[in-house]
Structure 1
C-alpha cells in the first residue's frame, strides 16, 4: 500500500519514507510513525510523517497494517 492517503496512516505503523535529503536518489528509510504532519486528506508525493527516531519524510510504502 502506498502512503498518499492520510486515512491509511496512523501512529505506530511501520513505514518506508523518503527523507528530504534523499529525494533525488529515492533512498528509503524504515521506521515507526510517531506524528502525521500533512493536514490534507491526500498528497501526490506521500503523506509527511515524523518517525519515532525524529526523522521526517514522505511515506512511500506502508509495511504493515
Structure 2
C-alpha cells in the first residue's frame, strides 16, 4: 500500500517513515502510527504522521 494516500493509514499501523533530518539520505525509521498530521487526502511525498515514540515524519512504506 502507498504511504501517499491518507485513507491507507490508520493509528496502530506499523510503518516506515523518513524523518525530516533523514530526507537527504532516505534513511527509514520503523514505528507504530499514533496520529496523522496531514489533513489532505493525499501528499506526493507521503502522509506526515507522529509515531508512538514521538518521532514525526512522512510515511514511505506500510508494513502491516
Settle same-fold status: TM greater than 0.5: yes
| Number of equivalent positions | 64
Q: How does 1:21-40 map to 2 (within 5 A)?
A: 21-40=21-40
For 2:15 and 2:2, the matched residues in 1 are separated by 9
Instruction: State the distance in 1 between where 2:29 and 2:6 align.
Output: 19
Q: Taking structure 1 as the reference length, what is the TM-score of the superposition? A: 0.97
CA RMSD of aligned residues (A): 0.4
4+ residue runs over 6 A deviation: none
Provide structure 2 residue ranges, at least 5 long, that are not aligned to the other structure.
none
